[in-house]
Each structure stands twice: as C-alpha cells, then as structure tokens.
Structure 1
Amino acid sequence: MIVVTNRIPVAEAYAIDFEDRFRKRVHLVDQHPGFVRNEVHRPRPMRFDRESGTWSPDTEAQGYYEVKTWWRSMDDFVAWTKSESFREAHRDRPPKEMFAGPNVLEIHEVFTSTDLELPDSGA
C-alpha cells in the first residue's frame, strides 16, 4: 500500500476557495485502477505548553493542507500520473496567489496498520 501526500501551504485569504475546489472535484482519481481512497486534511496549527500541559492555537505557524491518496501499489499511482484523467483533473490550475509557498510531495509505503491486512514486504 502506498500513501501519496501533497502538503500545500494555502494563503489564508484563499482557504475557502481551496476547500471548495476539493468539494466540487470530478472524482476522476476515484475511478482509476489501484486507487483506494482520498482524504483532504485542513491544518490546525497548535502549540503545546509543556509546563501547563495545555494546547492553544499557534497563530504564527504556517499550516499545510494535506491531500492524501492511498494506492494498492506504486505502479498504480504512477499509471494515474501518466493518464489522461490525471491531466484532466489538474487542468484548471488555481491562481498562484492561492499558495503561501511551494507544495511538498511525499510518498510512503505502509508497512503496518491497525485497520489494514498488509502482505509481508520482507523488509
């Protein structure tokens, strides 16, 4: 199982527009072979005070939205990125002002999970 995470710093003034883009997406990725699921996570920058043991909003931190897709294999994900559906899903580019900096793309292999039966990868 592969998890692809796109960490995206969204300018505060564009947060609603950014979220609307995902609410109104055409779900092309959902139909691609090997696709498992998609989640979009809203940032909640928080600060922990060790002395008091309390949490409070961190108004100085730049939060990142995370767009996560789960795939059965890396080959399935790569095939999605080479597909016409991928190009169509990413055709309507948002304005550059929507972003507070560059995105970060991360790919991870799930080697253990509390809710998935995974084959032994031999690692």
Structure 2
Amino acid sequence: MFVVTNRITVKQGFAEKMAPRFTQGGKIESLKGFNKIEVWQVNNEDDDTEDMYVNTWWETEDDFNNWVKSDAFKEAHQRPKDSKSDESSPVIKNQIVKANVLSVLNP
C-alpha cells in the first residue's frame, strides 16, 4: 500500500469549505490502484491558518504516478468554475509526503 499526503495550509475558515472538493468523487475512483481519500483537519494553535491533510491510498507508487500523469488529475486540479479569476486562493502553502505502508493493525 502506498499513501500520499498533501499537507495544505489555508487561511482560517477555509478547511471545512475546501474538504468536500477532495472527496466529491470523480474519475479518480475508476483508476487502477486507487483505494480511498480522507481529508483531515489538523488541530493547531495558529489563529490565522488551518492545516489540512489530504490523504490518498494507492495499491502501488506506480498507480499514484499514473494518476498524476492523467487527464483526470489535470481536471481535478483546475480552479473551480464558480470562482472569480481575481479572487485570491485560500491556499498559503503545501507539501507532498509519500510513504509506503509497512505495517497495519485492523480490528
């Protein structure tokens, strides 16, 4: 199992608004090796920003890389059609973390 986490720092008040965009479904669900997406809001002390972790689970790293190269990826990462072009993005920064799952305990 391969997990990719996109750690996204956003302006205060935007994490809950943005989270459903990542889990609304779409072409990613039909891609080989895709398992699931979870969006977490990290508890932090900063009053000006919020941190979100967008976690995607894949069977292999190759499956993830194929997603990144796909037209479906490009479509999923376009700015929403209802947003104004002069509107500033609530995203302040992001960091991608890639990991192989080595051990799991399920109930």
TM-score by length of 1: 0.70
Aligned mates of 2:15, 2:105 — CA distance in 1: 32
Amino acid at match of 1:34: G
**What are the residue-to-residue correspondences of 1:30-49 with 2, within 5 Å?**
30-45=29-44
Structure 1 counterpart of 2:27: 28
The two structures, once aligned, show a CA RMSD in angstroms of 2.2
SS at match of 1:18: helix
SS at match of 1:97: coil
Match among 74, 93, 105 for residue 96 of structure 2: 105
Match among 65, 70, 92 for residue 52 of structure 2: 65
Aligned mates of 1:91, 1:61 — CA distance in 2: 26
User: 1:86 Cα shift?
Assistant: 0.8
Structure 2 contact 15–52 (Cα < 8 Å) conserved:
no
User: Any gaps of 5 or more consecutive residues in structure 2?
Assistant: none
User: CA 1:96–1:106 in 2, change beyond 3 Å: closer, same or farther?
Assistant: farther
Task: Give the share of equivalent positions with the same residue, in percent.
Answer: 31
SS at match of 1:85: helix
User: 1:20 Cα shift?
Assistant: 4.3
Structure 2 counterpart of 1:79: 66
Give the number of the structure whose alpha-carbon radius of gyration is greater: 1
Count matched residues.
Answer: 101
User: CA 1:22–1:74 in 2, change beyond 3 Å: closer, same or farther?
Assistant: closer
User: Any gaps of 5 or more consecutive residues in structure 1?
Assistant: 46-57, 116-123
Alignment deviations for residues 17-51 of structure 1 (CA, whole Å, 9 cap, x no partner): 3234335x342212211001110001222xxxxxx
Aligned mates of 1:37, 1:26 — CA distance in 2: 10
Amino acid at match of 2:90: M
